[in-house]
Structure 1
Amino acid sequence: MLRTLSARRDAFPLATPFRISRGVKTVADVVTVEIAANGVVGRGEGVPYARYGETMESVLAEIKAVRAAIDDGATRDDLQQMMTAGAARNAVDCALWDLDAKLSGRGVTDTLGLPRIASTATAMTVGLDTPDAMALAARALANVPLIKIKVDRSDPEAQIRAVRAEAPGPRIIVDPNESWTMDEVERLQPMLADLRIDLLEQPLPADDDAALDGFAPLVPIAADESAHVAEDISSLRGKYQVINIKLDKTGGLTGALALLDAARSAGLGVMTGSMICSSLSIAPALIIAVQSSFVDLDGPLWLSADRTGGVRGTDGILSPPDPGFWGTPAPGGG
């Protein structure tokens, strides 16, 4: 079977700036991979992330390096050996899953023996800002199921209290994006518990994981930047209670499924996250999301315009994309 891989850069402007402790994003820059065969096209998306040393150019170069092998029929299993985990492998891996679904007429969830994807609650993010501005943003989210608060070291207690005051009902994830110290993690525990925070995500730099060893938090702590692939789990036990699975870290759905199994086997909880991206990143992540305790997939909801047929979000509930968008046979195709 003749296959043809192509890759390109796509840019999706954001409706409003997205601020975290490491900076501000106004455009979602992604790599789109398409693999064509027998008249159908499988698609995947990766988001290069500077935190992991990735650039648009480096990701496109990684994909170019394996193009001939993919065209010659390399499989998803082959891909795990040919490429390292990251955005490039994610885009190719997900394109192969999508291509297989369209060629076989059998959806990815059917292949995995999972239920068809239905609507799921996703965290709605309150970006980093002044406490007053964050309170205003939270007011509009007071009735959603789950909020994620981006904080830094400037005054995290004021930021968190401002959001909780305006949104007393939702579950809340607090995400410092590696900006806190261990002293702050310890000092802020009573406040986090008092405000009914459900999860603290990656408070320390990944290199400082050892400080969490044996620590018994009042609020569960999730590994994000510290957790990439299944092989990481052995070093994270005793430090974290939850693992945040992102396909751009695992290198695709194949790696994400392996990390999910490893986390469960280690008795760790699971969260599904994403970068700021289009719905083409979110569609495969939904397969992990429906098996997770926490879901943070609002990336496309920040865009001025998403890909046609993508996910839809209303009041914190994410609806799956249209049939044929990703991982399902094209309408009329079986």
Structure 2
Amino acid sequence: MLRLVHETATLRLARPFRISGYVFETAEVLVVTLDDGTHRGRGEGAGAYYLGDDLANMQRQIEEARGTIEAGITRDALRTAMPAGGARNAVDAALWELEAAQAGVPVWRLAGLGSEPQPIVTTFTIGADTPDAMAASARDYAEAKSIKVKLTGELPLDLARVAAIRAARPDIWLGVDGNQGFARADLAALIDGLAQHGVSLLEQPLARGAEAELDGFRSAIPIAGDESLLTLADVAPAKGRFDVVNIKLDKCGGLTEGLLMAAEARRLGLGVMIGTMMATSLGTAPGFVLGQIADLVDLDGPALLAEDRQPGVVYRGGMLYAGPEVWGSGQHTPA
């Protein structure tokens, strides 16, 4: 038998974070602990705000599944026992860490990685603001090698934002995230303007549900699907519409599903990106494992917080590293 405990935490952001249609100042997460009387596993889930997957929903889902989980459940069985989302992500992460502790091997080895995880380049995200303020933020990320910019669907203003950031940081890889804020009629002008400023990725320009509008569209910049691509079932239909699959563990329900999505994307010739909702280092560490096999990594959640949990991930020289002390070491972890 397992014992399941869950609690909540409110994360304060270092500053308000604006995207298309939403401003974040805090984020609530669900923290799950599983123990078998000897070992324990931990996981954190934030859910997806645009799906209504809030704290109350996550708590309800986990209580509905409590009996099944505590009776003993595999990570594969969890994929059908709970719906995809933040609660399942938290439980899945706890099962990975628990299994690693029971086996005495680190999570990365259980996940089938061929070698110990290494630091990886991650994007640092700039929320929507005035062009001057966003350019200042880009300069503040002095060590960043990769920056992602939140746009709002205001086409002339958005292009001015990108131009200001590119002028401030001509050296970086630059991507933009539309967060569903644009219309199909905007795309040609948007992509032409972005290409002029050396933008390398356009993420989720159209609303979830409007994916068919990308059929036959040819873009000079790779387009990534985020809100449109939640779980493994969404990867195959992405072919011909998106070039890159943005996997977020809070959308798909955990690292177990995320690894399956990455494998399917590779099979279809699509790029693999790993992203995050607002998260502490505990919520970021499973994504770091998947990030070892991704083309693009966007795991800056802890960098946006006023305070992270400790021990935490390390950001240095534009790179991210989640050491074994953060999560999933495979060492004995007392229950």
- TM-score by structure 1 length? 0.96
Corresponding position: 1:183 with 2:185: yes
RMSD: 1.5
Give the percent of matched residue pairs that are identical in Structure 1 and Structure 2.
Answer: 40
Q: What SS does structure 1 have at the residue aligned with 2:264?
A: helix
Give the alignment of 1:4-153 within 5 angstroms. 4-114=3-113, 115-153=115-153
CA distance in 1, matches of 2:316, 2:109: 27
Q: Does 1:326 align with 2:327?
A: yes
Q: Is the 8 A contact 1:324 1:331 kept in 2?
A: no
The answer as to 2:166 corresponding to 1:167 is: no
1:198-277 to structure 2, matched below 5 A, reads 198-277=200-279
Deviation at 1:142, TM superposition (A): 4.8
Distance in 2 separating the partners of 1:305 and 1:233: 35
Alpha-carbon distance in 2 for matches of 1:108, 1:153: 40
Cα distance in 1 between the residues matched to 2:252 and 2:280: 18
Runs (5+) with no aligned partner, structure 1: none
Q: CA offsets, 1:85-106, max 9 Å, x none?
A: 1111111111100100111111
What TM-score, normalized to structure 2? 0.95
Q: Are the aligned partners of 1:142 and 1:169 in contact in 2 as well (CA < 8 Å)?
A: no
1:193 is aligned, of 192, 195, 198, to 195
Tell me if structure 1 keeps the 8 A contact 2:232–2:260.
Answer: yes
Structure 2 residue runs without a partner (length 5+): none
2:288 and 2:321 in contact (8 A); partners too:
no
Q: Name the CA distance, whole Å, in 2 between partners of 1:94 and 1:201.
A: 26
Q: CA deviation at 1:325?
A: 2.7
After superposing the two structures, state which structure 1 stretch, 182-191 or 155-164, moved more. 182-191
Partner of 1:295: 297
Cα distance, 1:141 vs structure 2: 2.5
Cα deviation for residue 112 of structure 1 reads 2.6
1:70-97 C-alpha deviation (Å, 9 max, x unpaired) = 1111111211111111111111111100
Contact 1:122/1:318, CA 8 A, preserved across alignment = yes
Amino acid paired to 2:327: W
1:221 Cα deviation from its structure 2 partner: 0.2
1:308 aligned residue (298, 307, 310): 310
Q: Distance in 1 between matches of 2:308 and 2:332?
A: 20
Q: State how far apart, in whole Å, the 1-side matches of 2:64 and 2:70 are.
A: 12
SS at match of 1:259: helix
The letter of the residue matching 2:45 is G
* Count of matched residue positions in the alignment of Structure 1 and Structure 2: 331
Residue 234 (structure 1) shift: 2.2
> Partner residue of 2:158?
156
For 1:112 and 1:189, how far apart are their aligned partners in 2? 37
- Could you give the per-residue CA deviations for residues 239-273 of structure 1, whole angstroms, max 9, x where no partner exists? 10000000011100111011111111111001110
CA–CA separation in structure 2 for the residues paired with 1:167 and 1:26: 26
